[in-house]
Amino acid sequence: MASRTIENYLKQLWLEQQDTRGKYVPMGKLAALVGVTAGTATTMVKAIADSGLAKYAPRAGVRLTRAGEQLALHVLRRHRLLELFLVEILGIDWSDAHAEAEELEHVISETVLARIDLLLGHPSVDPHGDPIPSSAGKLEAPKLCSLAELHTGNTTIIARIVDQSSEFLRFAQSSGLVPKAQVVIEHTNPQAGAISARPDGKEPVMLSMVAAAKFLVRPCAATRGKRRNK
């Protein structure tokens, strides 16, 4: 039904409009994400809006309708199941899986996807810890906090990495900062804007606050000063 081009627009739009209730995604942002010029994005978005998958507000931006979100979630499901499949079954490097899945997500049939899902045991997260939408288009989003929010001495487990670039993922892997790894916060230095985290059985790693924020963890250790339950 939707072309591969449109599927890409929808997916990027979905990812971008998360955690922004009612806010519109600006055209420049979308264009950059999809990798086209702003003019191209404007034209495509108008076509997408005409087919009822998004609402377009000139000079303000664009936002998916319910139908658009559902379609986007199906693309996202294909993408994330494929990523896990590439890593788990074929042994592809997790830093390359994203780029590979970016192509495959548009040509895989429902039948093949169902077999992959079965083979993987109906998984709930992809290799980066990103949740996999159900075949019905439901997505459970557990609220996680990040490494940047923890304090010296805290111990936690990495649940998710929110940067798909292969450079960052290669760095994360070589440091041992991968999903399911246990890490201890050795030092925090708010003034310098950096922390030191030590993955279990590995060397401590220095992380800027920006980098630390890309690692989502569980359980979210209680913050030092203010505890909810006294």
Residues of the shown chain interacting with a copy of itself in the complex, contacts defined by CB under 8 A: 86, 89-92, 96, 100, 103-104, 106-109, 111-112, 115-116, 119
39 binds DNA (CB under 7 A): yes
Tokens 């985290």 map to which residue?
197
Closest distance between a copy of itself and the C-beta of residue 116, in Å? 7
- Nearer to Mn ion among residue 162 and residue 221 (C-beta): 162
**Considering the rule CB under 7 A, would residue 42 count as an interface residue with DNA?**
yes
Among 23, 46, 151, 224, binds DNA (CB under 7 A): 46
115 touches, from Mn ion, a copy of itself, DNA, none (C-beta below 5 to 8 Å by class): a copy of itself
Distance CA 209, CA 207 (A): 6
CB neighbours of 160 closer than 8 A, spacing ≥ 6? 125, 128, 129, 130, 144, 179, 215, 216
Do 38 and 89 touch, CB atoms closer than 8 A?
Answer: no
Which does residue 154 bind out of DNA, Mn ion, a copy of itself, none, counting CB within 5 to 8 angstroms by kind?
Answer: none
Q: Does 27 bind DNA (CB under 7 A)?
A: yes
CA-closest candidate to residue 146, choices 94, 217, 77, 76: 217
Minimum CB separation from DNA for residue 70, in Å? 19
Position 72 contacts DNA (CB under 7 A): no
Strand partners, 214: none
Is residue 58 within the footprint of DNA (CB under 7 A)? Answer: yes
End-to-end CA distance of the chain: 55
Minimum CB–partner distance for residue 41 and Mn ion (Å): 16
Residue showing tokens 């979210």: 220
Q: Report what 5 binds from Mn ion, DNA, a copy of itself, none; CB cut-off 5-8 Å by kind.
A: DNA
In the complex, the smallest distance separating the C-beta of residue 81 from a copy of itself, rounded to whole angstroms, is: 12
Return residues touching Mn ion (CB under 5 A): 8, 83, 102, 126, 128, 130
Does 145 sit near DNA (CB under 7 A)? no
Q: Which two tokens stand for residue 87?
A: 């890593």
Q: How far is CA 150 from CA 57, 65, 154, in A?
A: 40, 37, 6
| Those residues with Cβ within 8 angstroms of residue 161's Cβ, 6 or more apart along the chain or in another chain | 128, 129, 168, 169, 172, 177, 178, 179, 214, 215, 216
Binding segment toward DNA, per CB under 7 A, in 2-10, 64-72, 127-135, 175-183: 2-10
177 φ/ψ angles, rounded to the nearest 5 degrees: -90, 70
List interacting residues with DNA (CB under 7 A): 3-6, 26-29, 35-47, 56, 58-59, 61
